[in-house]
Structure 1
């Protein structure tokens, strides 16, 4: 139930005056003449009128008042946002090399009576070549992920379960991908269905820089002058695409396969003219690979030990091994937007012009606070001119003078407001108000479903190309209401942006923008610390259950920078890695008669692994830092496992008797062995 808003303007002038007159005897015995001719009563009448006027004003807080308050606390209502979608194009051979230009118009037919306008984001060269083979080569072996790449229900790990330097993802094309294009755009879809969303902290932007990189290379076919037998494992046969900062450089929009994006590869000067046959296949392919490599120079070193307990920190490490849904060609992104007028393919880059109208007439008058409106909304961008003279957009007229040619644009409603002659100039009469460079779009209407039919609106691509949406459009939202912005501002007051307490440090660390976090532990060195004492924040990233949750150098550096940005001036704070203690568990059990031994063994091993999990173990929120593993707890855990009759013996040992920093220590289950005793006289011990 909400709080009742009081009615402040609930008293009339006579009530204020009578209340003041009745209080005179309380404050003065000598004031006996309370008639209207008395000068004191005249003052009371004045004060009663002022009080009534103030109550009237206090009870009428408009949206403009709230917007002004929001600007004072640095909160702006969110404007309408555009929906975006990813679409794939099937390119016939006769259109190999066709170009989807930036801002190319498309239409999304939601239904026969509902059409939404979209446009392409960026320039895309189309190729008839498709990804025909996907091979992952890593230190654990080699896997053919072609079927997974072609299936919408499957995914694959690009560099295996434990990525290391020189692991590679090989992509084979049956036809020459550079036959008609100067750039090959590979759309890489990251599978994040089972992952937490990247953290956010207000409106801040993350600064995560991976401590490793993916080097994109192409295979060079042997020439007549060089008759060496070429093969996929011969690194001398692989040449890197240009990765310098230039127009012909590789553009990696995936942040080294940390997220979905486009990898744009420039055509190399020595691109092979003939394909090669690899990996025991029967068909030759043109080959491209992404090879995992260390950054040059190496990234920053974490302030703790490596995950294996050594002092050397690996520069090539993923918190979450890259898991991909698909690698495709001919995929580009579209956004919900349209121009002011219908344009053909020859005038896409020309500025659009709209004449605004006023309620009551088409031109300006000499009146203050004039309003003009677009014929549709929302408005994303527009430049306003009055009588051919450009005017400047401002959020409000609070800082505008009488001669300032300012206007306020309400993008959600498409309304342009001018000043009153005191705050903001009044346009000269009989002037046309013109909007140029107009772009419309945004709002919830752009979130079209995946079943929508797409097509280009003009050109060769309009009739001969099939467009397949890779999901529904998302991200479109209507303009945020003033009430919603006020609620967000109120909520933000409870969000820690300055680290004072341990809870503040933990919150700021786990909300480092762009990172998928697991846990954090703040260590101050004592309960009553002095301001100069060092503060350590132990960082545990989110990782799948089969991966040890250890931060890479880039991950740790991003958290460290975010903490320092929000720390007090006198605080010395450092993000550090956890110390993992390898633990081995051996257990001898007897199972209930009639149960399957192998199933009970797996159930017991799974129970132990889940119990000791650094992120999900113990009571469900991760193993406590510095807490030892007690044998009695393993006994109890196994006894509660279904199908276990008796736990005969349990042994818990750390590798080589490791003695680690207890403040940052977490168990890492190296091995768990469960033996099922079949003979009743077998006690499980050897003497």
Structure 2
């Protein structure tokens, strides 16, 4: 059948002609001859014809028409995406406080809902490892004497092989810029130890009785950033395998949780009730079921720190508040030699906290919604009260023969069979749609009531709150909340322009990744990805040798707090891209998702400023335009899409960019350089820098001065002291 779009102006030639003639007496009353033979009427006929043609074209292009046609394709605009956060609760109630799933946490005007149930105890945690200490230097007699004294105190001889360690605590504020993660691989026992401390003034014996047999909810945050500098050529086969689609989303590694009570006693295993950290590989919550009874460690006999013993706490006040010591390691497979923890270690840990729960920037409806009554027709649509619905959260029932029957949500009706009870949800618009009936899925019949029992709604970029922004727990007394890490993942609903640009490509791709453009466009749909490039035939292990059947997708994130100018994705984002692309690729395609490699360069420009312009302002503008021209992300770069992969950086091109700044008379010179340890300042001037097809430029040294350019790598340096080698000290003030 013919598709008819909405008509915004339905006037035709005759209507326009009649309207023009009716206006003649008002504007030109002396014009009295309105017959067809009059030359003026002939001109009005011409304008009416032109007006009808313009209206016809006008009615073909409005956004309303495009939206109507795109809706017929069944591909709606993307809804707002909610932010997610790891929150930690705190309470002083002796028996703890239970917060059910759906509990509301507030960060100002932004609300979050807990994804699971959590029981908050009046405890806090300390995460730490036994960090290995390297052997002392040959000439460090004091350190050698100290270690000999330690051996004597342990009753060991000087010839006994001993691995010394120092306790290293996890940073209390993981969001602080100076907070460095702890690598469990650096521990002598490759184990992470967690001390559970009761609140000050609490009764430890009573608390142990309350916690025995119940759950302890531990939040664990990891540093999943890619090591800098990232070099694709340095990857071996095992390293490249970590970026393969099957390696980034491989089988979860096992973990072994044990409880320590006293030196000499065997560590008792602790049951894991739930683990959203995917085997301590990504940030999440581990729910442990504590043993019953829960044996308290004797505060008078602190741990020795030996094998299967936690590291001693140097703070005596903290040591006296320990309720339990937990150890987590990677267990060995059956028949594998070694001890627990000698396998693949737990990697960089940023934070460990008690009473943790995942929360989502969303709200749930509190009462069911009655949508209406079925008509038996095809394509029935019913609006929900809220918009911005979260996927797979709608629970819908239809009353059939006096009994409520739950129906199932589907992405589309393409695979539905006759009689299937399916419906689809337009998440952005908040609409429920039923099928066509007949030979398709069943539709609500005449008189059948339709209700929705539950769904969640919300989302938006406003949910990306900073660390510590969450402070309140609504409708729950005696509990406070905080978020040790910023919330992430929130995104506003897709704009109309973005939807009109994306949806035609969706129709062409049909949700499959076959061509290079398919991989790129699908990767860009993952939140947090600002740029994606497809590199066919590139294997990360052998980037210079074409590999048949291999596709590598290079991902650049929207932001990277460590280096905003040269952003690298973390492994969490790489996993998200993998999980989205992997089911859409051909089974014969070997897929890798990799970060970009940055080639370090330096720039030194010397400018002559025109009269009447402020020198510092012009210099800053030249710096800015050079950085933007070489930036990896849109809307910067030569064509507004970021610097093209593999494009050679040429000095002449950069000179042409710099002279475009208003206020620059001409350039005294511009030097392009690359790192070279043998050069005077570590940088060597070159006319151009060639890049591999997986490389982007990174400016590590940029100077713009008035006059001749500085030497490559010299950068800006502070003035030397007036007296060389002098000690700088404040002069005490005079006191009478």
TM-score by length of 1: 0.50
